[in-house]
Amino acid sequence: MDPTWIVRLDLPGGGVRLAVKDCIDVAGVPTTVGCRVIAEQAVAVARDAAVVAAARACGAVIAGKANLSELCWSATGTNSWSGTPVNPLDPRRLPGGSSSGCAVAVATGAADVALGTDAGGSVRIPAACCGIAGLKTTRGRVPAGGVYPLAPSMDTVGALGRDVAAVELGMRLIEPGFAARPADLAVGRLRPPVDPAVDAAVDAALAAAGVRIGQAGGLDFAAAADAGNTLISAEAYQVNARLVPRLDQLSPHNQRNMTAAAALTAAQVTAANRTRQSVRRWFAVMLDRHRFLALPTLVGPPPLLGQRGMPLIRLTIAANLAGLPALAMPVPGGPAGLPASLQLIGPPGGEEQLVWLARAIESALR
């Protein structure tokens, strides 16, 4: 069985081939969320999620339900029950998650576009690991009906594609009429600590497109990631509390996640929410000054399978805390002979301009 998929459908039709992350309902198919405990009790759902219904109305053909990290609760993209999708750039490396199957399906050409979800980086991280593009949308812009949540206050639905044009196509499937809108070729450049080769690749891509660079700073990415992890844990525990009696049947990773989440105190969650408000205020100031922000998506190359210690969500989760749109796209010249990933963050509702800016950069690199 190909670990890219939970269920391969390849329904007939000549439209855009769409992979759907298996936390998003597709009529006639169970939604397992990559979890054996849920799969054992799951039945075929009666109706499509709102985003799937919209895509079908635009003529999309469902290629299948794509594999994912169990319960969407890991940025690695691995899954001990359903298998781990193979990174097409380097099979020794993680595919990234949680939307791992979506990224691999698009990168290998098994799907034209994929619909994933992103609560802390789960569209952008696998896009970065697999050398494709992915857009996390503004929180609340895309309907979440029929989507199994991880952290409701941070979850969004987004599109993945081989390039930015495919991401734009994905957005048109779920939001007819979506189109890139011209934007100023200028960004505020954030410089968190990353592999020097990643920084150099991002700078070279921006320079090639003639993007004007302003310097931005002052965000504590590690503190934001800690707060985001706390909030995801608190919310994910509530979403999945019914699984506690079968905790020992979850993956070891999620056994640890659930146990740690159960031990969170009200004071820890309150402190994390205070950090979230600080992050939102910081972004409001920076985006008023620069309109767009640019930084890497990952701090280094995609980790090797089994490698520990790389903070995968370090540079992505801040956008979730602030509810902002963020786009990851591949740029040449990254470490380990792989592409790096440039992340662009825009103001609320700024997806059309964000896509335009990304397309301008992508065109300059071709």
Residue positions annotated with a catalytic role: 21, 98, 122
Structural tokens at position 197: 């080769």
Structural tokens at position 318: 């801040």
* Sequence-distant (≥ 6) Cβ neighbours of residue 241 within 8 angstroms: none
CB atoms under 10 Å from CB of 337, counted, come to 9
User: Nearest CA to 237 among 211, 218, 257?
Assistant: 257
Burial class (CB in 10 A: 0-12, 13-18, 19+), 217: exposed
* Category of 336 on φ-ψ map: left (φ > 0), alpha (ψ -120 to 50) or beta: left
CA atoms of 151 and 44, how far apart (whole Å): 24
Q: Which residues pair with 7 in a beta bridge?
A: 65
Q: Give the three-state DSSP class for 36.
A: helix
Alpha carbon of residue 149 to chain centroid: 13
- The CA-atom distances, in angstroms, between 12 and each of 15, 16, 18, 52, 56 are 9, 11, 12, 16, 12
User: Nearest CA to 171 among 137, 139, 124?
Assistant: 137
Radius of gyration of the chain (CA): 19
CA atoms of 330 and 340, how far apart (whole Å): 6
What order do you get walking across the sheet with 157-161 strand by strand? 5-8, 61-66, 17-21, 113-117, 157-161, 133-136, 326-331, 340-345, 293-296, 186-189, 212-215
